[in-house]
Amino acid sequence: AITALGAALGALGGLGWIDFRRRDQSLMARLSRALAREELTLVYQPVVDVADERIVAAEALIRWWSNGDFIPPDVFIALAEQRGMAGQITRYVLDHVIQEMGETLRLHRDFRITINVTASDLNDPKFLAAIEEGLHYAQIEPEQIGIELTERSAADSHAAIEGIARLRARGHSVYIDDFGTGYSSLSYLGELKVDALKMDRAFTRTVGTDAVTVSIVPQIIDMATKHKLAIVAEGIETEAQAAYFRGLPVRILGQGWFYGRPVSAPRLIKRLEQQDGIIALRKHRKKNRP
Ligand code: C2E
Ligand code: MG
Ligand code: MG
Ligand code: MG
C-alpha cells in the first residue's frame, strides 16, 4: 500500500516538484559560494559603429563554470531574481568591470561598458552607492558606465521609471535591452525616457529574408530616430546583415558574432589597442601625405 501511495504521489508530480525545489536551492547555494570565492568571470562583447566597425563600447556578460559545467546566465540569473539575489550579481559585475576595465576606461574617454541590471537594482541604495564608488575609484565618468534593462523591467512600475530617471540625471545612459520582445512596444516608445534601444536579435535575423516581420525593423528604427534614441542592432552574424544596417541613412551601432564574440578583458583591451594603433597610423599617413 505504501509503494502504491508513493507511486500515486509521484504520478501527481508532487515528488518531482520537491526535487525541483531542492535542485534550485542547491544551485543558489552553489551560486552564493561561487560569488564569495569569485569564481564567476566576465566576458565583454564589442559594440561597433556599423559604418566603420570601430568599437565604441562593450557589454559585460557574466559566465559561470561550476565543476566543469557551464551554467547559462539566463538560467541562474532568472533564479537569482526570484530568490532576491539579483543585486549580489549586479554588484559583482560592477566591481569586476571596475577592476578589469577601469584603467582602459580612464585612457579611452569615448569608450564605455554597459552592464545588465534588473528593475530591483534601480532603487537599491547599495547599487547606487557601488556605482558611485566605482566611478570615483577608477576616476571615470558616469557616461562610461551604461545601464541595460529589459523592456519588461523598464515598463514595470512607477519606481522603475523613477530609478531610470535618477540614473540618467547622474549621467549614465540607459539602454532598453532586447527591445521588441516585451510589450507591443512601438506605441509607447515615446514614453520611455531612455537613451538607446537594443533591438532584439530576433529582428536582425529577419533582415534579408522575406519574413513578414522584416518590415518591423525600419519601423523600429524610424520611431527610435524620431525620439532621438540611439540604436544598437543585436545579433549581427553575417556580412549580409551588417551590409543592411550599413546601408541605412541613420547611425546604427551593432553587436554580434560578425563583429566579435564575447571575450576576456585582456583580449578586448588588445583589440582596442590595435584599433588605436590603426587610427594613429591613419593620422600619421594623412599628415605626411605629399
Ligand atoms: P543580453 O543582455 O541580450 O546579452 C546578449 C546575449 O546574446 C549574450 O548571451 C550574447 O552572448 C548573445 N549574443 C551576442 N551576439 C550574438 C550573435 O551574433 N548571435 C547569437 N546567437 N547570440 C549572440 P549570454 O551571455 O548567454 O547572455 C544571455 C542573457 O543573460 C543576456 O542577454 C542577459 O539578459 C543575461 N545576462 C548575461 N550576463 C548578465 C549579467 O551580468 N547580469 C544580468 N542581470 N544579466 C546578464
Ligand atoms: Mg544586455
Ligand atoms: Mg540584449
Ligand atoms: Mg538577449
As a whole number of angstroms, the distance between CA 179 and CA 195 comes to 13
Instruction: Read off the pLDDT of each residue in 27-54 and give the average, rounded to a whole number.
Output: 96
Integer angstrom CA distances of residue 73 from 77, 86, 137:
6, 12, 28
Q: Is 62 in the pocket of ligand 1 (CB under 6 A)?
A: yes
Which is it for strands 41-49 and 253-254: parallel, antiparallel or unpaired? antiparallel
* Predicted confidence band of residue 9 (pLDDT cuts 50, 70, 90): low
Query: Measured from the CB, is residue 79 less than 6 Å from ligand 1?
Result: no
* pLDDT given at position 10: 58
Mean pLDDT rounded to a whole number for the chain: 89
What percent of the chain is modeled with pLDDT above 90? Answer: 71
Q: Closest Cα to atom 12, ligand 1: which residue?
A: 235
Q: Report the candidate in 135, 138, 133, 132 with the shortest Cα–Cα distance to residue 104.
A: 138
Query: Which residues, other chains included, contact 204 with Cβ-Cβ below 8 Å and sequence gap of 6+?
Result: 217, 233, 234, 235, 236, 237, 241, 256
**What's the pLDDT at 200?**
93
Q: Which residue has the higher pLDDT, 111 or 67?
A: 111
Q: Give the Cβ contact number of residue 134 at 10 Å.
A: 18
What proportions of the chain, in percent to the nearest 5, are helix, strand and coil? 55, 20, 25
| pLDDT greater at residue 192 or residue 119 | 119
Probe target for ligand 1 pocket from 92, 116, 147, 176, with the most ligand atoms within 8 Å of CB: 116
Whose Cα sits closest to atom 45 in ligand 1?
116
Mean pLDDT, rounded, for 223-235: 95
Please work out whether the CB of residue 70 comes within 6 Å of at least one atom of ligand 1.
Answer: no
Given pLDDT bands bounded at 50, 70 and 90, which one contains residue 143? very high
Q: How far is the CA of 147 from the centre of ligand 3 (A)?
A: 12
Task: State how far the Cα of 237 lies from the Cα of 239, in Å rounded to an integer.
Answer: 7
Interval between CA 238 and ligand 4 midpoint (Å): 18
Average pLDDT over residues 30-54: 97
**Rg over CA atoms, the chain:** 22
For the ranges 16-25, 239-248, 254-263, the lowest mean pLDDT is seen at 16-25
Chain centroid to Cα 71, Å, comes to: 17
So what's the pLDDT on residue 38?
Answer: 96
Spatial CA neighbour of 149 closest among 167, 169, 133, 129:
167
Residue 268 pLDDT level (bands cut at 50, 70, 90)? very high
**Per-residue pLDDT for 44 more than 90?**
yes
- Which residue is it, cell 532621438? 228
pLDDT of residue 21: 77
> How remote is the CA of residue 139 from the centroid of ligand 4, in Å?
30
The CA distance from 50 to 139, in Å, is: 29
User: CA–CA distance from 197 to each of 89, 209, 276 (Å)?
Assistant: 23, 23, 27
Atom from ligand 1 closest to the CA of residue 118: 44
Of the pLDDT bands very low, low, confident and very high (cuts 50, 70, 90), residue 17 is low
Whether 22 shows a pLDDT value over 90: the answer reads no
Asked whether the predicted pLDDT for residue 202 surpasses 80, the reply is yes
Decide if pLDDT at 272 tops 60.
yes
More confident residue, 123 or 114: 114
Interface ipTM: 0.96
